[in-house]
Amino acid sequence: MKVNELAPRSNVDEIYVKVVKVSEPRKVFGRDGISHKVSDVLVGDESGTIIMTLWDNSISMVKEGESIRVENAYISTFKGSMRLSLKKNGGNISVIDRDIEVNTKNNMSDRIVEDSNSYGYYGRRRGYRKRY
């Protein structure tokens, strides 16, 4: 699978990409109320780039310039932007010994997509009605 073939809410069994840039981790509070570290990592191949969101211990698994194999991931959307994310159960990153050329001119995360999982009115999911 290539980066330019990724689509919102699709599963990614396996993809080979190169780490272009790792952002400084920031602290956020998750839905569980616990503080987590999150980092946006720009990864790509010859077809384009995408932002991969890494949490907590996964952040230390990547370094700029490394080629990696990402297994058991999915494409999520955040504020209308596609993101590559590891599945909580079984998502894996491994460093590979292969040089991957990166096309930085086609950033899939720059494309605006409908964010069907975003929260709207009063923090409820769109289309959700509170039942009494």
pTM above 0.75, yes or no: yes
What's the whole-number mean pLDDT along residues 30-53?
Answer: 93
Quickly count: other Cβ atoms within 10 Å of residue 109's Cβ.
22
The predicted pLDDT at position 30 comes to 79
Strands 35-45, 26-29: parallel, antiparallel or unpaired by DSSP? antiparallel
**How many domains is the chain partitioned into structurally?**
1
For 100, the domain range is 3-123
- CATH code for the domain in which residue 10 is found: 2.40.50.140
Digit-coded pLDDT (tens) for 63-76: 999 999 999 999 99
Question: Residue 91 domain-assigned?
Answer: yes
Question: Residue 62 domain-assigned?
Answer: yes
Q: Looking at the predicted structure, is the pLDDT value of residue 59 above 50?
A: yes
Q: Read off the amino acid at residue 93.
A: I
The predicted pLDDT at position 114 comes to 67
Question: Residue 45 domain-assigned?
Answer: yes
Question: Residue 130 domain-assigned?
Answer: no
The token pair that represents 86 in the structure block: 């590891």
What's the whole-number mean pLDDT along residues 30-44?
Answer: 92
Per the listing, tokens 């050329």 go with: 101
